Structure 1
C-alpha cells in the first residue's frame, strides 16, 4: 500500500466549478492537496486561459458549461473574462490569474489542452517526419504558457495527450517536469514518454493491471486486461505514475494498494476513508 499524492482534478470538479479561481483556492486550502490539475488553451489573442472544452457552449451533467458560445481560441479575452462558468459567478480565468490564487506550497499540473486548432491528434505516437511540424504548431502557445509558469514560485508539471505539445515543452522549457497523458494506446503513450524522457506518465484508472478497475471500459483500454502493465513498466523506467480520474474512495483505495504514485481526483478527502487512510 502506497500513500499517493492527491492531485485536484480541475480543482476538484466534483465539488466546485471546474478550472476556476474559486475551485483552485478551495482545493489549495485542503491539507491533502499536493497539486492542482488545470487545462489551458489560448484566447483569441493567444493569452493562456484555463478551460477544458474546445467550445464554450458545452454541457456538464445537464448544465450549460458557460453562458457563452463559440470556440475558446476564437473568443476575445475580454469576453472570456465576462463568461460565467456552470451557472456560477465564476469567470474563465487566465492562467496568470489562477497562479496568483495558488500558494507556492501547492504544485500545479498544467495540461496543455489545445494550441488553438481543431487538428489536435491526441494519443498518437507520431511518425518521425511529422514530429517537427507538430512541435512548431504548439511552440508559440507553449511559450506563452511557460512565461506564466515562470512567474509562479511553486512546482509546475506540464502534461498533454499530444506529442507535439510535449515536444514543444521540452524545447521551450526543459527545466519543467513533463508527463505523457495516456488514454487507449498504452504502448504509444509509453513510447512518447520515452522519446521526451518524461518524468511522469498519466494513465486512466482502468489501465493499472491487477486492480478491480482494470476490467472497466470507461477510459483507456476497452474491457479486460490492459495490454501492458503500465505501472510496472513506468516504474522500471524511473517514471512517476499519476492516475486519472478517481471519483470515490473505493477507486482511490484500489489504486493506492496497486502502488501508484499520484491520484488525480474529482473529490477531496478520498484518501482519508477506507484502507488507505
Structure 2
C-alpha cells in the first residue's frame, strides 16, 4: 500500500510548497499528491485553490496572474508558490507523483509536462498518476495522451468514479474514504482499478481503510500510514 502525502505533508508544513514536499519524503511518503493550475504566462504551478487569497498574502485568480506575480507572493508568510518543474527537482524519482488537475485547461499542459519528463529526463509513465474531479479535463487527457495514467477523483459516488474510469480508460479511482466499503474496494480492484483514497488523517480511519485492502492512502500525516 502506498503512503501518499496530501499536498506534501500538509499537517506539518504549508501545503503545496517545496518544504512540504520535502517533509513528506522525510516522513516516509512513497507518493506525493499535489494540485496544479496553469498561470497567465503558461507555467504549471502547485497551488490548490482557484485564487491565491486563502494561502498567500495576495489576491486574485491563479490563471490571471503571471509567474512573476505569483513568485512575489508569500505562502503562510515565508514560502513561495513553486512551479511543477521545481517540485520535480525536490521529488525526483524518489516516489510516485500524483498530479491533480485542479484548474481548467490544465490537461494539455500536464500531458506535455509528463511527456517531456518521460522522453527527455528518463522517467516512466508509471512514475506519475494524473487525477481530477473535472470530467472535461479527464476526457481531454484521455484523448490527448492514452499513456498517462488517470485517476478519477470523487467525493460523491464510487459508482460514478467507476463509470468515468471505464469511459476514460483510467488506471485508478480516488474516492473519499467515507465512500469506501470492503465490498466496493474488492469489486474495483477485481475490475482492474487501483483504489487510492483521501484524505485520511485519524488513526482509526486509517486502520479501517487499510483493512479494506486499498492500494494507497492520501493523508496530511504520511507518518501515520
TM-score w.r.t. length of structure 1: 0.75
CA distance in 2, matches of 1:236, 1:257: 16
Specify which of 18, 38, 45 is matched with residue 15 of structure 2. Answer: 18
Q: Does 1:75 align with 2:70?
A: no
Please state how far the C-alpha of 1:36 moved relative to its aligned partner: 0.4
Specify which of 245, 257, 260 is matched with residue 199 of structure 2. Answer: 245
Please state how far the C-alpha of 1:52 moved relative to its aligned partner: 0.3
Specify which of 192, 198, 217 is matched with residue 170 of structure 2. Answer: 198
Distance verdict in 2 for CA 1:148–1:86, change over 3 Å? farther
Q: Does 1:49 align with 2:45?
A: yes
Secondary structure of 1:245's counterpart equals: coil
Bigger Cα Rg = 1
CA distance in 1, matches of 2:106, 2:81: 22
Any unmatched runs of 5+ in structure 2? none
The residue that corresponds to 2:137 in the other structure is 165
The residue that corresponds to 2:80 in the other structure is 91
TM-score w.r.t. length of structure 2: 0.91
Please state how far the C-alpha of 1:166 moved relative to its aligned partner: 1.7
Shift >6 Å, 4+ stretches:
none
CA distance in 1, matches of 2:31, 2:47: 17
Distance verdict in 2 for CA 1:268–1:188, change over 3 Å? closer
RMSD between superposed Cα atoms in Å: 1.8
Distance verdict in 2 for CA 1:5–1:139, change over 3 Å? closer
Secondary structure of 1:256's counterpart equals: helix
Q: Given that residues 37 and 44 in structure 2 are in contact (C-alpha distance below 8 angstroms), is that contact kept between their aligned partners in structure 1?
A: yes
Secondary structure of 1:269's counterpart equals: helix
Please state how far the C-alpha of 1:94 moved relative to its aligned partner: 0.5
Q: Given that residues 56 and 66 in structure 1 are in contact (C-alpha distance below 8 angstroms), is that contact kept between their aligned partners in structure 2?
A: yes
Q: Tell me how many residue pairs correspond in the alignment.
A: 221
CA distance in 2, matches of 1:149, 1:161: 24
* Structure 1 segment 124-143 matched on structure 2, within 5 A: 139-143=107-111
